[in-house]
């Protein structure tokens, strides 16, 4: 089963900028699902899916690295507050019960996101496309002992009790933005 490193989702943002500085308030919802299959002792192929979901409210600040009439590049940092949850479900032969995932873990998320914000616009329209590569890193570790216990019920007790990790993630946000241009 792969790592949860390049999630997808939705974000909504409100912000502003001057010639040199920018700020924004952003709600972010990211998620992704991973699955694995293997032969069970009874000869039936068992399948499991894990879903990671993160929601956060981010307060971001940045500086303009450069700009033209149609392009602006900002370097920024946000402070992120929210939670992450992990869900699971099981099936056979790659077929899953349509029932909802069961939540097996919920953690507080406090961290930061480093980003580059590229704004592409035209002179005629009141907005543009925002491209934002990011790297999010939490300040708090996530203890995945409970997840390990759920997905490995016969062997988890052989693993260390202190099963902490950092839930960092990286990706690219694509946004459509509306803004008012200054007259100069």
161, part of any domain: yes
183, part of any domain: no
56, part of any domain: yes
* Poorest-pLDDT segment among 15-29, 30-44, 68-82: 30-44
**pLDDT (0 to 100) of residue 156:** 67
pLDDT exceeds 60 at position 183 = no
Q: Can you read off the two tokens belonging to residue 114?
A: 């480093």
What is the domain range of residue 169? 8-178
Domain count of the fold of the chain: 1
**pLDDT (0 to 100) of residue 113:** 96
**pLDDT (0 to 100) of residue 3:** 66
Q: What is the mean pLDDT of residues 54-65?
A: 96
Query: What pTM does this model have?
Result: 0.79
Beta-carbon contacts of 13 under 8 Å, excluding residues fewer than 6 positions away, are: 24, 25, 26, 27, 175, 177
70, part of any domain: yes
Question: In three state form, how does the secondary structure of the chain look?
Answer: CCCCCCCEEEEEEEEEECCCEEEEEEEEEEEEEEEEEEECCCCCEEEEEEEEEEEEEEEEEEEEEEECCCEEEEEEEEEEEEEEEEEEEEEECCEECCCCCEEEEEEEEEEEEEEEEEEEECCCCCEEEEEEEEEEEECCCEECHHHHHHHCCCCHHHCCCCCEECCCEEEEEEEEEECCCCCC
1, part of any domain: no
171, part of any domain: yes
> What's the half-sphere exposure (Cβ side, CA atoms, 13 Å) at 114?
3
Percent of the chain past pLDDT 90, that is, above it, reads 36
Q: What is the mean pLDDT of residues 130-145?
A: 88
**pLDDT (0 to 100) of residue 182:** 60
**pLDDT (0 to 100) of residue 137:** 92
**pLDDT (0 to 100) of residue 93:** 74
| pLDDT class of 180 with cuts at 50, 70, 90 | low
64, part of any domain: yes
What is the residue whose two structure tokens read 């300040």? 139
99, part of any domain: yes
Over residues 105-120, the pLDDT tens digits come to 899 999 999 999 999 9
How far out from the chain centre does Cα 19 lie? 29
Q: What is the mean pLDDT of residues 27-50?
A: 84
Do the beta carbons of residue 51 and residue 31 sit within 8 Å? yes
In terms of pLDDT, which residue wins out, 113 or 154?
113
| pLDDT class of 6 with cuts at 50, 70, 90 | confident
């Amino acid at each position: 089963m792969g790592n949860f490193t390049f999630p997808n989702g939705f974000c909504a943002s409100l912000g502003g900028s001057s010639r040199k500085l920018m700020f924004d308030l952003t709600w972010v919802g990211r998620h992704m699902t991973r699955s694995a299959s293997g032969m069970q002792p009874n000869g039936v192929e068992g399948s499991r899916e894990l879903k990671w979901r993160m929601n956060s409210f981010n307060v971001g600040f940045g500086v303009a690295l450069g700009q033209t009439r149609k392009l602006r590049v900002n370097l920024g940092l946000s402070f992120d507050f929210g939670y992450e949850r992990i869900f699971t479900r099981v099936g056979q032969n790659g077929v899953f019960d349509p029932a909802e995932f069961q939540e097996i873990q919920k953690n507080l998320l406090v961290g930061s996101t480093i980003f580059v914000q590229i704004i592409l616009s035209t002179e005629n329209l009141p907005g543009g496309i925002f491209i934002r590569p990011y790297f999010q890193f939490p300040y708090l570790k996530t203890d995945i002992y409970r997840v390990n216990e759920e997905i490995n019920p016969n062997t988890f007790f052989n693993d260390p009790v202190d099963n902490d990790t950092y839930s960092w993630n990286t990706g690219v946000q694509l946004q459509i933005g509306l803004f008012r241009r200054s007259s100069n």
